[in-house]
Structure 1
């Protein structure tokens, strides 16, 4: 598997269940140690770097299944996204920026995360990742289990985050939604890259249409 995400890009990583998408993100973020190969971020070899060092470098992973802290408030969840941020004024500014992007979270700032709807929990998970100050955001299945209208809202949020300068590597089962906002894409099958190219080309590729778009 070989892939590249350029500055300011949204790159979609598509594939069936078990193809290796989540493992790829976990290897990039240091949660899984690769047995071979090299992972570079901004010219630096991070193949053996620890997850905290990877986050500190500006590479932030929002995992599949949201994984918010259900017994903590929305505000506390967001604050934990900045656990490496030592300057409290920077932390406060980032949290407030998330509230500006996601006013629904601001309305629920004192509510426990576990009482939010599925869509609100996903927004909270993404917001928590933003508080870490990513230059590259890894998103794993952000639309999983969400209603179509909520999926559209999540995709708009990802596009807005990217428009502000954050690159995104997006793992997504909803290939149609992902390719609508992505600049480029890769298809992974059984742990190996099988197709890649501009998102528009992938949307028109008969193999992608048959396997992922219907």
Structure 2
């Protein structure tokens, strides 16, 4: 069973996922975010995804902190593109001794989700604040603004915007815009809006365009995702 709540770290979400007996395969959909994960006593980093990651529905409980898009590289000290479409042991990114101490700290908390949240808060406190321009990029693209218009409004050249996006989000602004549009569409569809209306409201040309994008990014049809397939 998947459960999430807002974190005390601004913009972040704390979540847990405990597979239920008989649960089948699932999908983790791209959302523009990076996560700090705990699984069976190990700390991992989930990079930003360009496509859905398949899960087999087994393997024990997970906990995570999902950071607001673009903020995790500042807190973790690495560019997002280095872990794009990957799940990486934190010990492969940081000194093993430090990771052992952090793992023990999470394990000593009242639960791994609480321990991860405390760790995320500590990492954020020790790091410089994320560049506020990154949130403006996310806000503009999530509102459906074209990439070129977003760059112009923020006073950036196209190459500057691409470099910043690659470091902060793991991919260029066009891919980020597609991922954010996908999430907008799914939220609208899950609220009960018909797919034809969802396509228009989310910024797709039409319903077939929505279906193509959903399949390309997730490997499933809109109906399959909404039905849990």
TM-score normalised to structure 1 length: 0.27
Structure whose alpha-carbon radius of gyration is higher: 2
TM-score normalised to structure 2 length: 0.26
Larger RCO (CA under 8 A, 6+ residues apart) = 1
Relative to its length, the structure with more helix (as a share) is 2
